Amino acid sequence: MDPNVPLIERVRFLGIYSNNMDEFYRVRVANVRRMMLLKKQRVHGFEGTAEDLYKTIREIVLQQQVKFEETFVVLVEELRKNNIHLINEKQVEDSQVSHLSDFFHSELKHEIFPIVLDKKRDFPKLRDYAIYLAVKMLCSHGKIRYALIQIPGDLSRFVVINREEKSFIILIDDIIRTHLKEIFSIFEPHEISAYTFKFTRDAELDIDDDLSTNFIQKIEHSLKERKKGAPVRFVYDSQMPDDLLHFLLQSLHLKKGLNTIPGGRYHNFKDFISFPKFNNPDFLYAPQPPVIHPDLEHPHGIIPTVLKKDVLLHFPYQRFDYVTDLLREAALDPKVKSVKINIYRIARNSDIMNAILSAAFNGKEVVVVMELQARFDEQNNLYWANRLKEFGVKVIYGVPNMKVHSKLLQITRMNRTKEQLITYVGTGNFNEKTSRIYSDMCLLTSNTQVSQEVRKVFRLLENNLERPAFRTLLVSPFNTRRKILALINREIEHAKKGKFAGMRIKLNNLTDPEIIEKLYQASKAGVKIDMIIRGICCLIPGQKGLSENITVISIVDRYLEHGRFMIFQNDGNPTYIITSADFMERNLDNRIEVGVQVSDVFIQQELDLLFDYQWRGSVKARLISADFLNSYHKRDLPPFHAQMEIYQHFKWLAEGSVDQE
């Protein structure tokens, strides 16, 4: 809704919102539905039953749906002012008919497979990633027929027609609408119309306890069962005739009410993430190609640099290619004996995985800990797990009943008789695609204590027997909660003694009740707490007598703020931590997560600077408040666009290193 965001980016954010809402229903709302079926009366953190919560969610979603539709109308008008006209089948000009007809017959016709609906036949199985046109036909003798058409998912949803200085854009939904009589000509319909709807299923994987099947078989079976998941949402065009709506709901065993969300003409707005560019640079964010890291441009490679000093990489501002380059180096280096990595989400066409395979081809011992329960990436992770095993890579499928969410890589090298460990501890996935849009960081180090403790984590993942002690690392579920609470308690003690006490914390989500209570306790003791929480924040800041020393902002901007780090002031001798864990019960108690204390003084200064820049943000930073307004964080200072300023900082460092050369 922000007019300062480039126009096409605003349209694409509608797609991001829609995609997030789909996942919210498939996971979170589906879980509430399960609680309803279990007749669980109390919902932790909510005053009411699971059914009450379900109704409250629906009310809020309906309010957001209205705002969403209003925003879409505004953006369509903005596009029109820029000579881009979003048209439907009723607005097609005579000069455009031939072009659209050619497109339908050459590209679209053979991609659609209409299904005539009949009460005597079973209703077809619907895919919850798809969008459908529900068709109503009035045929001869007054007979009414219904049909379904699935909108093809392999084609772009948008067709652009350029005419002189104007561009016209039409969705393939509407191109299909213009040809409905042709598609169903066998019925000779007098009247025919179509209305979009989409269908969302419970996406939870139910993994049974059958001891006769292995874990991969259980995952594969669960993925198949996911396609049959119970319905949690039916979103439909509010103009759909009542008889057609009733037929669909009855066929899907739904009732109008809790599960149904009336909306506008178009659904599956996630496709708008790929809205056309129209070759106008003003419509998009200015290009920000990743810059070099001055320390990693060594002519002899990355490994010699990391053996001498710690390096912090910050994506997407700096090149993610360095990670792939490091793996390629390890694959070719005759002194490297082994490569170990743990994978949570990986790109389908992954340079990281190809570099891992290269290490295996070059005779290195390669161990990959592959998390098969990374939600919605299970199929892709299965694909890579099988491919790796084909080429002799040792693949481990995580820890029973616990997701492996840590971001670790370790290379073991022998320099004559001396063992050298090159270690990577990160906040984000080894994923080239998301590294371009997620803000993350990683520490590259050969520090002996850190490296030996990361080795212990890999041993734990490989045999599930060891329960090692960690001094430098924060490893969930073993010591992260205890260490975080101890660090907060230390600040409380400093504050009580009148010493310098404070915390600066940057996370995705803050929901853990025990941590929140401890932060309230710190605030009441006088500890100054600044937090950047991009997503869910269950702590209420700024409440007199409870949290008046706590300020929380959230930055939602061009890049998804995904990096997690903390600075505990400790009376002038700060402790710095980067981690893969949010302050959520699942991250602290039910997943393998790894955080690391940063000891390098220059990297500590870099973390201070990064937090300072984001804390000064006043363009895309919102102040999280008890009234839930979450308005932009306006200050009596010149506007400060944090993400842009951070990029300029890293660009300046890169250009400075080139100038020195």
Burial grade of 476 (CB within 10 A; 0-12, 13-18, 19 or more): buried
Say what angle helices 30-37 and 50-81 make with each other, to 10 degrees.
160
In terms of Cα–Cα distance, which of 519, 468, 522 is closest to 496? Answer: 522
What are the CA-CA distances from residue 640 to residues 128, 229, 553, 620, 645 (Å)? Answer: 41, 46, 14, 9, 8
**Candidate list 179, 267, 314, 405, residue with the active-site label:** 405
551/537 Cα distance (integer angstroms): 12
What's the distance, Cα to Cα, between the start and end of the chain in Å? 45
| Whether residue 477 has a cis bond before it, omega within 30° of 0 | yes
The tokens for 302 are: 């990355």
3-state secondary structure (DSSP) of residue 156: coil
Characterise 301 by phi-psi region: left (phi > 0), alpha (psi -120 to 50), beta (else): left
Give the number of other CB atoms < 10 A from CB of residue 550.
23
How far is 439 from 19, CA to CA, in rounded Å? 19
Q: Is 299 exposed, middle or buried (0-12, 13-18, 19+ CB in 10 A)?
A: exposed
Two structure tokens written together for 323: 């990670």
> Three-state secondary structure along 237-283?
ECCCCHHHHHHHHHHCCCCCCCCEEEECCCCCHHHHHHCCCCCCHHH
β-strand partners of 144: 138
Nearest to 339 by CA among 329, 349, 351: 329
CA 605 vs CA 107, 567, 609, 628: distances in Å = 56, 11, 6, 34
- Within 8 A by CB and 6+ apart from 421, the residues are 410, 411, 412, 413, 446, 448, 451, 452, 454, 455
Q: Strands 191-201 and 231-237, how do they pair?
A: antiparallel
Q: Which amino acid is it at 545?
A: G
The tokens describing 40, both together, are 């669980």
99 is catalytic: no
Structure tokens at 584: 């959520």
The residue behind tokens 């057609």 is 244
**Alpha-carbon distance values, 240 to 5, 243, 261, 355 (Å):** 34, 8, 12, 52
Catalytic amino acids? Answer: 405
